[in-house]
Structure 1
C-alpha cells in the first residue's frame, strides 16, 4: 500500500480535522467506536499524513474515602460536634464515640488547636463550623474540576481523599500530505473486503481491492517483567544472602502469645487494641505451638527476671491464645531462634504484616517488613550499627541516622531515619532483645534484631513522595521504571 492511501476510517478522521487545528484525540467525533479512532490515528501518524503532539496531563479525582467524608463529614468534624455538645469528655468517651476513626480525628483536631490534656478533651471557645463546611465544599468541588489550593490539595492527597492520575493525550493536526490523501480518496473504486455477496455474484473477479500492507506498523508487544517492589525484594534478599544470612518464613495468622507475649509486650499494651490489630475469629483454633513455653512467659510477665521486675499484673493464657494477623515479622525471629538455639545464627525474612492503620502518604494497612536478627557470643550495639549501615550502603544510601528509641522488647533500641522532602521519616526499628525475651527461650547470648519497612525503603529507592504510589497501576511507569545497580 502506498503511504498516501487511506482506509474509510482514516478518511473520516482526516475529514474531521481538515479545517481544525490542535484537535485532542478525544474530541474527534466520527461514526465509529473510540478504539477504531485511536487505531486510525496511529496509522495516519505512521503514514506521515498527520502531525501528532503527545502531552502528559494530570487529573484529580475523589476517592471512595473522600466521598464518605463529603457525605458524613470529616472525622475531626464529627469529634468537634461531639465536643460541642459536652462540656468535657474523657479520652475513653472520645474513643468509644469515634470508633476506629479516633486517631485520625484527634490528630487533625490537634492541628486546629484542640488537644487532649490530662486524659480529657474539651473546646475552649473554638468556632470551626465554617472551616469544616468549606473543606467539604473544596473536596466536593474536585468532581466539577475545581482544584483547591496546593496546601489543601496536598492534605486531601496525603489522607487518601483524592487521587492524582497521569495520562497522555494526543493533539492532532493534518499536514500537506494528509490533505493530498484526502483529496485523492475515492478516485479509485476500491473494495475494503471480500464479502459473501461479492463471491456469490461473481463481481469479485473484476473488483479492485485496497492493497493490504504487510509492512504496516503494529502496536509493540511488551514482555512481562518484575514489579518494582518484587525487584526490590529480590535485591534485598540477595544482599542478605551475600552477607551470610539464612532466610526464614512464618505465618500470616499468629497467636498473640507468639506475636506479643513472647516479646514481653504486656497484655494491656495499646498495640493490642482493636484499633491497632486485626483479630481473627476461629471455631476450630490451631493448637498452640510449643505450649511448654507459656509458663515461662507467664512468670516473666508477672514477676520479671533477675533484677528486672516484670509488669506486675495477672497474665492470662486465654489472652495469649487469641488469633491475630501478625503485626510484625519479629515473631518469625522468636520462633526460629526457639527452634534453633545453637549459635551463631544470622537470619532474615521479607514478608507481609498487617496493621489497622489509617492509610496516608507514609502508612499502609498491609505492608512488607524486612526482618533480621543475629544471635552470637561476640555481638553488641556496635555490631548492630554496622549491620544497618552496611545494609543501606549496599542499596546506595549513605546517609541514614540511628536515633535512640523505645520498644518493649529491646534495650537499647534505635530507629532508622532519613529525610524525604524535608520531613524525617522512620524506616524501621532495631535493638538488642531484653533478657525477658531471651531467657524464656533459653538463649544465653545477645540477640540483635531489626525490622525495616520495605515500602518506605521503596519511597527512597524510586523517589516517591507518597507510599501509595508504589501500588498504583501506572503502566507507563511500570514499563519504564529505572533499575538501580
Structure 2
C-alpha cells in the first residue's frame, strides 16, 4: 500500500504527536504542524481513513448568525416594534396607511406579529391596545439579536424566542462538522517502517531537466480503488416543481394562460387600480424600458375607462381623485406580476365561468439577498364565477395547498391595491409557520370598467420561495447555483 505525499506528511505528524501524548487532534489543528493547506489535509485525512490507517470521529458544532434582515432590524427596529409605537402615538391606523408607512412587506410582518398578541385589524383599521407581554417580548427579541451579533451565548430561557426569530429568517443556524483524528496501531506500524515519503508521484519539467528522477522509486497507483458513481441527467429541481404545480392546477380543472414579459403600465398597473403615484411604480421597484420602439398596445379602448375609474371611481366607490396621465399608462416595463395575465384574460373572456392559472417569470427591482431575487417565477390561480366568494376562495386555497403537501394553514388579513378583502396564506411546514402567498377578491374598480359582473377570486405565491421550503434551502440564490452534488441528490423536505 502506497501513500501520497500529503498522506505521508499527515500520518508522520500524527505519529510524532502520538509519541508526545497527543492522541486526538482536530483536522483544522493538523495545519499547525505541517506545511499543507486545508484542502490538502482534508483529502489526506479522507484517504487515510479509507485505508484504515487512522480513526476519525465526527463532532457536530452549532452556532448562530444574524441574517442581513436581522442586522437591519437590530439597527432600525423590528416591524412590530415600529407599528406598536406608531399605534401608541396615533391611536388608530387604516391598514392601507400601515402599508404606506412601513412598506408592504414590513407592514404584513408587523400585522402578523401584533395579531399573535391579540392586536388585530377590524374593519380595515387597527387600534392601539397596551400589551405588557408584547413589550417584554420585543425587548427580549432585540436582546437576543444583540447577543447573537456579538457571539454571546444565550440563556436556556431564551431558546424559545430564538426559534421564533429563526422562523422569521432573522437568525440562521450554522452547523459545522469537525473531524477528530487519531492514528491507530496499523498507522503507527506503517509510519515507523515506511520510507514511502520519498517516492515520486509525478514527473515535472523540473525533475526531468535536473535528472533527479534517476535512482528513485515512483509511487504505485491502485487501479481498483472505488471511484464515484456517475449519475445521469435529471430534471432541475425548479422544473420538477413547476411540473408538479401545473399538474395540480390541471387536475383541478384550470386552464393555463400565458403573457409577455414586456407590458404597458396600463395593463400591469392601471387596469389593476394601482394609482400612478403608488410606490410600487417607482424606479426602485420596477424595471422601466427606455426604448422608444413601442410594441402594439392591445385594446386601446380601455384607456378612457381607466382614466374614469382612477379619477372619479364607479358607483359607490370614489376612485383615487387625481389627474390620470395617459403617457404614464403607456410606459413600457418588465411585468412585475402575473396578475397582468389574469386581467387581460378576463377582459378578453368576460363571460363566466373560468378557472385560470399561470406559472411564469416576473421582474422586480429588488436588492438580491437570501430571500429576494430580481428575476423570479410567480404562480397564480384565479376563478371567475357567479358562485365565487371568500368561502370558496378559502376552500380552493386549502385544496391547492393540500395537494402541494401543506396540511396546516391559516389566513391573515392583508392589503393589496387590487383585492378587497385580502388575505395572506400562512402554512406550517416542518413545525415552522411560513407566509407563502397572497389572495383576495378583485375590487369592483378592477372588474366593472371591463363589464365583469361576477366575483373574481385569486391567489398566488413565489415559486422560488416555495422551492426553498421544498428543498430545505437557506438561501434563495442556491436554486440557481450549479452545485452538482445538490442537483444529483436533491430531495423534497416537506414532512
| TM superposition score normalised by structure 2 | 0.69
Give me the whole-angstrom Cα distance separating, in 2, the residues matched to 1:308 and 1:384: 24
- Partner of 1:215 in structure 2? 224
CA distance in 1, matches of 2:197, 2:353: 85
Show the counterpart of 1:331.
340
CA gap of 1:69–1:239, structure 2 versus 1, over 3 A, is closer
2:275 to 267, 279, 283: 267
Residue 49 of structure 1 corresponds to which residue in structure 2?
53
Determine the C-alpha separation between the residues in 2 that align with 1:154 and 1:401.
Answer: 20
Aligned residue pairs total: 470
Distance 1:304 1:33, change over 3 A: closer
Question: 2:420, 2:442 within 8 Å by CA — same for their partners in 1?
Answer: yes
- In the alignment, what sits opposite 2:5? 8
Change (3 A) 1:412 1:250: same
Correspondence for 1:347 among 336, 343, 356: 356
Is contact 1:229–1:470 with CA below 8 Å preserved after alignment? no
Contact preservation (8 Å) 1:347, 1:372: yes
SS at 1:38's partner residue?
helix
Query: Would the aligned equivalents of 2:464 and 2:479 in 1 still touch at CA under 8 Å?
Result: no
Between 208-217 and 341-350, report the one with greater CA deviation.
Answer: 341-350
- 1:32 — aligned with what? 36
Q: Give the whole-Å Cα distance in 2 for the aligned partners of 1:36 and 1:291.
A: 67
Looking at structure 1, the residues matched to 394 and 77 of structure 2 have their Cα atoms a distance apart, in angstroms, of 43
Instruction: Give matches, 1:46-445, under 5 Å.
Output: 46-61=50-65, 138=147, 140-142=149-151, 150=159, 163-186=172-195, 190-194=199-203, 208-218=217-227, 226=235, 228-251=237-260, 254-263=263-272, 265=273, 267=275, 272=280, 274=282, 278-284=285-291, 286=294, 288-305=297-314, 307-311=315-319, 313-318=321-326, 319-322=328-331, 326-341=335-350, 345-353=354-362, 368-375=377-384, 379-381=387-389, 384-401=393-410, 409-410=418-419, 415-419=424-428, 425-443=434-452
- 8 Å contact from structure 2 (residues 286, 365) kept in 1: no
- Please give the alpha-carbon distance, in whole angstroms, between the structure 2 residues aligned to 1:203 and 1:414: 77
Unaligned runs of 5+ in 2: 120-124, 129-134
43 and 342 in structure 1: CA distance in 2 versus 1, 3 angstrom threshold: same
Q: Closer, same or farther in 2 for the Cα pair 1:135/1:383, shift >3 Å?
A: closer
RMSD after superposition? 5.7
Deviates more, 1:239-248 or 1:41-50: 239-248
User: For residues 290-334 of structure 1, what are the alpha-carbon distances to aligned partners after superposition, in whole Å with 9 as ceiling and x for unaligned?
Assistant: 3321101222334444x4334262440254345666443211111
1:427-472 CA-partner distances (Å, limit 9, x unpaired): 33334444432343344655443223445645664567x7869759
Where structure 1 has 5 or more consecutive residues not aligned to the other structure, the ranges are: none
What is the alpha-carbon distance in structure 2 between the residues aligned to residue 211 and residue 321 of structure 1?
73
Q: Distance in 2 between matches of 1:48 and 1:228?
A: 37
Structure-1-length-normalised TM-score: 0.70
Tell me the SS of whatever aligns to 2:181: strand
Contact 1:267 1:315 in 2 (8 A): no
Q: Secondary structure at the match of 1:257?
A: helix
Q: After TM superposition, give the deviation of residue 214 of structure 1 in Å.
A: 1.0
